[in-house]
Amino acid sequence: MVSREVYALTGGLAPLMPSIEVSQLKRRPPSDEKITWQWLPFTSSARKDDLQLYHWARVVNGVPPTGDYSFAKYNKSVDVIRYTDEEYEKYLTDPTWTKEETDQLFDFCERFDLRFIIIADRFPTSRTVEELKDRYYSVSRAILIARAPSPGEVAGHPLVKEPYNVSQETERKRALSMVLSQTKHQERKDAEVIAEAKRIAESRMAAQGVEEPDLPVTSDIGPENAEKAIGHGDTISPSNVHVPSAAVAPSTSILADNTSTLASLRMLWVYLRTYALEQMVQAASSSAGLRTIKRVEQTLQDLGVNLKPKVPTKAVCAEHLELRKEILTLLNLQKQLQYKEAEGSSFRDGSYGDMPGTPKRSLRAADQDRTFVPDTISFGGERVGKREQKRKGPGRVAETPSSPAHKRPRKLKASDL
């Protein structure tokens, strides 16, 4: 149990798992190492006055630690660009800034590592943080461009590539202060207004999608025209994909699915090209079975082609869809070829009652003595002769006499010997 005072101080129960592993607490140093702590002097390379201080240091086997102070690596400074008097007179003159103010600004930037809040607090004249930033970055940008042999060499520099925008920074801070100074009541009202605006926009878009007439379903619109429709702001329907007649047969269910897909795309307005490609691929293989679709995907993997293009440009999507249609056509042709070969082999064998693909039966000596019964295949896969025998009632004897060859020999009795 936890006392009420401890629960109130911690705000809840203590963590179940310890923050430090028990193995670390019980670990002991090797027996051949003797560790002591000594009060030793040290110097830091981060200081320029060679100040000597003291701290407790870990000494192993009487050997004190060597090298620079461990925290000296965190002493990082900003490289502030400096200018000459000639460069200032030629490139950096500004009627709102004097040379003394600019020099003092750059001294503070180098001293305080571009912490403009501190610089604005220490600056002798009344300048805002945005004005100090604008002056520093504009001077640094002008010096970089002036010293470069060509403008292209410094085009990728951050100060040149992304110049400081005073008006945008001022507007950002003003909007941020407005948001932070809002009360809870104003926040609730803003949330209600945004939710109402979203509801109205969705209802208008739904009404507009219902009023717009459906696009005509054609079979000669390819991925190129679909991309052109996307570029003009229209949506595309998966029913516009050209598919061979042997591979796809139109039906009312497919047209209904295409209409629903078109309505969903109209509601989206903006969507990825890969999403439109997936819809076209589904429409192209909608009439094919699941096994055929898996065979198409397996063929793509065997060819080393990704199921989804990595760079879905207009040309890549068109070629990908064309490849899928050709593979689907090839699989259908292979299926028809196998059926024709099986049918031809059955005609060559000369079997009268067998279906294509059924192996020919060999006649045995016992079958030659039987009365001929046509071996007709029914829908259930059973012969008619067997079914007729099953229909006969008990006690009835088949009209065809059984052959003596099929009788079981009688057992010998003692009287027969």
Residue for token digits 């064309």? 322
Q: How far apart are CA 349 and CA 351, in angstroms?
A: 6
pLDDT at 206: 87
DSSP 3-state of 377: strand
- Taking a C-beta distance cutoff of 8 angstroms, is the pair 132, 105 a contact? yes
- Rounded-to-integer distance, Cα 406 and Cα 400, Å: 13
DSSP letter, residue 410: P
Q: Can you give the pLDDT at residue 13?
A: 60
Q: How many CA atoms lie within 13 A of 5 on its CB side?
A: 0
Side chain identity at 90, as an amino acid letter? K
Let me know: does 110 contact 82? Beta carbons within 8 Å: no
Q: What is the pLDDT of residue 289?
A: 76
Report which DSSP code applies to 406. Answer: G
Q: What is the DSSP letter of 400?
A: S
How far is residue 328's CA from residue 335's CA, in Å, rounded to a whole number? Answer: 11
Block residue for tokens 């100040």: 51
| 302 vs 289: CA distance, rounded Å | 20
58 by DSSP, 3-state: which? strand
- Predicted pLDDT at 369: 45
Report helix, strand or coil for 97: strand
| Distance between CA atoms of residues 147 and 154, nearest Å | 10
Is there a contact between 257 and 212 (Cβ–Cβ < 8 Å)?
A: no
Note the pTM of the prediction, 2 decimals.
0.40
Phi-psi region of 296 (alpha: psi -120 to 50; beta: other; left: phi over 0): alpha
Reduced to 3 states, what is the DSSP secondary structure of residue 356? Answer: coil
- Return d(Cα 252, Cα 244) in angstroms, integer: 18
Tens place of pLDDT per residue across the chain (417 aa): 556 776 667 666 666 665 666 676 677 767 778 889 999 999 998 888 889 999 999 998 888 888 889 899 888 888 899 999 999 999 999 999 999 999 999 999 999 999 999 999 999 989 999 999 999 999 999 999 999 988 888 888 999 999 999 999 999 999 999 888 989 999 899 899 999 999 999 988 888 877 655 444 444 444 444 444 444 444 443 334 343 443 344 445 545 555 565 566 555 555 566 666 776 777 766 667 788 888 888 888 888 888 777 777 778 878 888 888 888 888 889 888 988 888 888 888 765 445 555 554 444 444 444 444 444 444 444 444 444 444 545 545 444 455 544 556 666 665 555
Distance CA 328, CA 285 (A): 8
Work out the number of other CB atoms within 10 angstroms of the CB of residue 134.
Answer: 19
Please write the tens of the pLDDT for every residue from 190-205. Answer: 899 999 999 999 988 8
| Greatest CA separation for the chain | 146
